[in-house]
Structure 1
Amino acid sequence: MKRVALLGMPNTGKSTLFNRLTGSHAKVGNWPGLTVELLNARLIVGDQVVRLVDLPGIYDLNGFSDDERVVTNFLDTQETDLILFVLNTSQYERQLNLLSQVMVKGIPVLLVMNMVDEASAMGITVDVRALSEKLGQPVHLLSAKYGQGMERLLPAIRQVISTCPVNTKTLSLGEIEHAFQTSINVPAQASHALTEKLDAVLLHPIFGLPIFFAVMLLLFEGVFAIGKPLQDSMAWLLNALRTHALDPLCAGLPLMLQGLLLDGLYNGLGTVASFVPLIVLFFLFMGMVEDTGYLSRAAFLMDALMSKFGLDGRSFVMLLMGFGCNVPALMGTRVIRSKGLRYLTMLTIPFSMCSARMQVFVFFIAALFTTEQAPWVLFSLYVMSILMAIFTSLIFKRQYVNNDAFVLEMPPYRFPTLRQMAITSQQEVKHFLNRATRFIVIGVVMIWILTNFPQGISPGSTGTWAGQMGELLQPLLQPIGINAELTIALLFGFIAKEIVIGSLAIIYGQEGSALVHAITEHITWIQAYSFMLFVLIYTPCVSTIATIRNETKSLKFTALSLVWPLCSAWLISFVFYQTATYLQMHLFD
């Protein structure tokens, strides 16, 4: 099978092109260094099938970052029939050095000049035939974002791999630069005028950060304003399904099996499913902000502050990636050359409010806070996650020293297409549901067993196995306001945070609005916020720990990533719970 590799600098639209060609849902983000795994898919080209590999975005084949080594090793060890070199047409100058390094490899190259929509808007024109003749390589113009020119790309690929050309023409960097300069017309006034105007405001040294946090607050406002009615509708639908369909259907089954299927599996999974609309909206809105290029600006804005704590703007980018899932964010640290900075960044990423934690927070916030209060409560947890990352880096920056300069390309602002937004939200929800299938089903069954055995004991009572576990840990967790029921949820949350809400549905024997009512009867808003703080900070899930161990190959560092968050979570929750309880008793009663 022929092998075709996608290669280019970060932020040239490689992943977007990969999605266009294969229909795959590779993660698309408008900042450098996002693709860190060798994504690949089969692609039908004419009468044959080829394997398309999406290589990490890099700046230099002679560099020393993990991504650069991955690309170099791939090209040196894997037989490659064609390289699709993806280049940003409107910013081609700084990409030519990498192109010259690739051409020296002697592998056939098809130069894909992407983002021609932006180039055209700036008045930039390309003489494709002249450029191709001067380079001795085929050249193709397209816009992967809008699909412009895509219909001609597959025939171009087919022609190259069918003729099996031998790349014998080696050009110096100067010759390549001359070929572009004489084949591309760039008007003197060509510029990203909108980007420059927006950056004058959004990158303002004083107002830039307040604007960023205001944008995030508005994002949370939108999630709850639109998502809460959708969540209520989903909960009503699931409750009606059980009442009118599942209960009668299971009426003839043994009581124990009924309990497992309805009170266990259905209640647990149904409660999680009711929050999918909010999760979809969160990632849809977050994806819009991400794809515009604004998060790269956030990294730039935060760099000066992060550097005071031993981190840099790249670390902040990885923290933001962690809001989707900690695992790919941890893998994304491979683009950081400095081992000390990489380890310090990996230590801070698990404090990011990932989608699994988001589900827990949305549930408790919706249950115990008003619609007006909800965005502010969620925003406070968002800020706390960043503060914990900063505090952690402050504590450990002398142990993990950064000796690498911060370099981040600023892409122009781009409004994402509906297709991009749909792919972003679909990918995140798919990932969420895959984890739900993998972890929640097993988790809720285990929790149902623990809350219903030994037989003869009232389900969910202190006499059950789960109740005994909760009571055993009460001396440790009671000072932070976490009762026995919440304790059980925390224990299973170590496996996957997605299990937390499902476990509460089983422990209380309720789902939907009934579960919300049961929660509000048993805990106060102070207990709920203390619990959310603990969930935000405490030990990461099993997948995150496994990734840390795999990326660092260090048992000592993995142990640190377990113990430090757990101790920090207890201390912070203790301070909040005791302080809030004291103030409520002495100032508000």
Structure 2
Amino acid sequence: MKRVALLGMPNTGKSTLFNRITGGSARVGNWPGVTVDLLAGKLLLGGEMVEFIDLPGIYDMHGYSDDEQVVRHFLHDNVPDLVVVVLNATQIERQLSLLLQLRSLDLNLIVLLNMADETRKLGITINRRKMAEMLELPILLVSAKFGRGVPEVLEAITRTLRYPTPGMAEDLRAQLENDDHIEVEMARVLSQSVEIPVRMSDSDTDRLDRLMLHPFWGLPIFFLIMFLLFKCIFLLGQPLQSEVASAFTAIRESALEPLLLAVLPPPLLGFLLDGVYNGVATVASFVPIIVLFFLFMAIVEDTGYLSRAAFLMDALMARMGLDGRSFVMLLMGFGCNVPALMGTRVIRSRGQRLLSMLVIPFSLCSARLQVFVFITAALFAPPHAPLVLFSLYLASFAAALLTALIFKKRLSSDEPFVLELPPYRFPTMRQLWLRSWHEVSHFLRRASLFIVAGVVLAWVLTNFPTGAYPGSLDTWAGMIGSQLNFMFAPLGIPPELTIALILGFIAKEIVVGSLAVIYGHHALDALANTLTHQLDWVQAYSFMLFTLIYTPCLSTIATLRSESKSGGFTLVALAWSLSLAWLVSFLFYQAARALGY
């Protein structure tokens, strides 16, 4: 099978092109000599199956960052039949150096000048034919976002794959270091094939940035945008969640229970309906919220605003021993902590990278969001629920910043922060759909296993040993909750919720499903009604604070261990998050009670 690697700097649209070419066939794979997983997808070209690999975005082939080493190892140990180099045409004067470095290697290359539609708006003129003649490489103009030029790209790839696969020199670094002529060559190519205005005219990007990056108004606008994002997620997602949950309840009551009640013994019936079926229903009921969350986050990221947020927060983050990249990773953690932890590879300094990994698990990930949306809808009035969600969002940042302040001296760094600010863009619906579906499908693959397993485990704990009344203190769950009550009673957290927290250590998605099993409800509406009578708002908020801060899920812990390569650091991170969660919930609960709430 022929292999094509996509390579380019960050923010060149490389991943957008990869998604457009491979569609829904992308998968994650391991490669010899590479310590991380890379995204790959297959496509039939010219009667032959071709595999496309999306390599990490890098700025330079000389660097020592993890991403740069991944690319070098891949090119050395898995020599591709073709390398498609994706350059941002609007930044051609800064992007050409990477192409010239790659040209010095013995590789088959095709060059794509992406975002070509934006060069005209900026007054940039690129003579594609002249540049191709000077570099002796095929060069095409494309717009990955809109799909323009993609058919021509596939034709060029098909033609080029007919050439023999190149061989890679054994000493790749020595080959790369013999490129002193690159600066001269780059200046020659640019002078003869590219026209860039000395001063670009004011664009919509410049006008928007005067407001969005304003020294005073920039941060309030950012937090207002994030508040509106959570408000939309709650107002749109909560009714959809209720409808899906009601549909699964109706299926259970009208079809499954009458069908299975007469043929199955009670223990097996309870296992299948209260355990497995409830687990599946819980996963399905949260899909609308996850879809909305990733849809809105994709809009924030793809418009270019996420880079602005990192720029705005850099000054504040620098006081904590971090920088704007760490803030971007915190925002990524709102989807899932795992890819955010993996994204810290772009940070070269080990001290700053470890500090970033220490704070990322405090991000209010989509798994926690499910718990908070459900509880706020159950115990808080609709006008107050978005404010409660937003306050938890702020609490997650506060926990992260406090952690950075405490540990910054031990994990210090003086690495400079460099950030590209791409122009504002209007993401297409197809682009948003692909991004959202990729994240939701990842959630479904991961959450389905964890939630169903967790709900089944909750059912076992609340129904055994034999003879104990389901959900009573005589069950295994009741015994565990009673034993740990001395730790959680000062936080206002009852034994039933203590069990849910323990199961949430596996995955936070389990929490709501396990509560349904613990309280003996198969409908989320019934569970919400029970919680309303069992808890007041102070207990509910204390529980959510603890859920927000305490030990992350097993997947995050495993990633933390593999990325840090330190068992001691992982233990410190776990102990700190658990201690901080207890302290914050304790202070909130006791202060609220002292004030008469």
Counterpart of 1:75 in 2: which secondary structure? helix
Change beyond 3 A, Cα 1:67–1:130: same
The 2-side partners of 1:378 and 1:161 are apart by 52
Counterpart of 2:376 in 1: which secondary structure? helix
Alignment match of 1:215 (pick from 211, 222, 225): 225
Change beyond 3 A, Cα 1:166–1:247: closer
The 1-side partners of 2:355 and 2:276 are apart by 40
What pairs with 1:413-424 in structure 2 (closer than 5 Å)?
413-424=424-435
Partner of 1:547: 559
Q: Is this contact kept in 2: 1:25–1:427, CA < 8 A?
A: no
The 1-side partners of 2:278 and 2:357 are apart by 35
Change beyond 3 A, Cα 1:135–1:485: same
Alignment match of 2:186 (pick from 176, 179, 200): 176
**Mean CA deviation greater in 225-234 or 523-532:** 225-234
Letter in 2 for 1:249: L
Letter in 1 for 2:580: S
Partner of 1:9: 9
What pairs with 1:32-431 in structure 2 (closer than 5 Å)?
37-164=37-164, 172-187=182-197, 190-191=200-201, 193-252=203-262, 253-431=264-442
The 1-side partners of 2:201 and 2:299 are apart by 23
Q: Is this contact kept in 2: 1:37–1:56, CA < 8 A?
A: no
The 2-side partners of 1:129 and 1:7 are apart by 22
* TM-score normalised to structure 1 length: 0.95
**Mean CA deviation greater in 248-257 or 301-310:** 248-257
Q: Is this contact kept in 1: 2:275–2:452, CA < 8 A?
A: no
C-alpha distance after superposition, 1:165-222 (max 9, x if no partner)? 9799997432333223322344566456011111100001111101100000111111
What pairs with 1:412-491 in structure 2 (closer than 5 Å)?
412-491=423-502
Identity %: 57
The 1-side partners of 2:165 and 2:277 are apart by 59
The 2-side partners of 1:199 and 1:474 are apart by 52
CA displacement at 1:267 relative to structure 2: 2.6
Letter in 2 for 1:92: I
Structure 1 spans left out of the alignment, 5+ residues:
28-35
The 2-side partners of 1:64 and 1:130 are apart by 34
CA displacement at 1:37 relative to structure 2: 4.3
Q: Is this contact kept in 2: 1:192–1:412, CA < 8 A?
A: no
Structure 2 spans left out of the alignment, 5+ residues:
28-35, 169-178
Q: Is this contact kept in 2: 1:268–1:506, CA < 8 A?
A: no
Letter in 2 for 1:472: Q
How many pairs does the alignment contain?
A: 578
CA displacement at 1:228 relative to structure 2: 2.3
Change beyond 3 A, Cα 1:519–1:432: same
CA displacement at 1:548 relative to structure 2: 1.0
The 1-side partners of 2:276 and 2:518 are apart by 12
Alignment match of 2:577 (pick from 565, 572, 582): 565
Counterpart of 1:92 in 2: which secondary structure? helix
CA displacement at 1:332 relative to structure 2: 0.6
Q: Is this contact kept in 1: 2:80–2:165, CA < 8 A?
A: no
Letter in 1 for 2:260: C
Letter in 1 for 2:22: T
Counterpart of 2:120 in 1: which secondary structure? helix
The 1-side partners of 2:53 and 2:194 are apart by 29
C-alpha distance after superposition, 1:485-506 (max 9, x if no partner)? 0010011100111111110010
The 1-side partners of 2:148 and 2:396 are apart by 41
State the superposition RMSD in angstroms: 2.0
Change beyond 3 A, Cα 1:297–1:26: farther
CA displacement at 1:137 relative to structure 2: 0.5
The 2-side partners of 1:463 and 1:163 are apart by 72
**Mean CA deviation greater in 435-444 or 361-370:** 435-444
CA displacement at 1:142 relative to structure 2: 0.6
Partner of 2:32: none
Letter in 1 for 2:410: Q
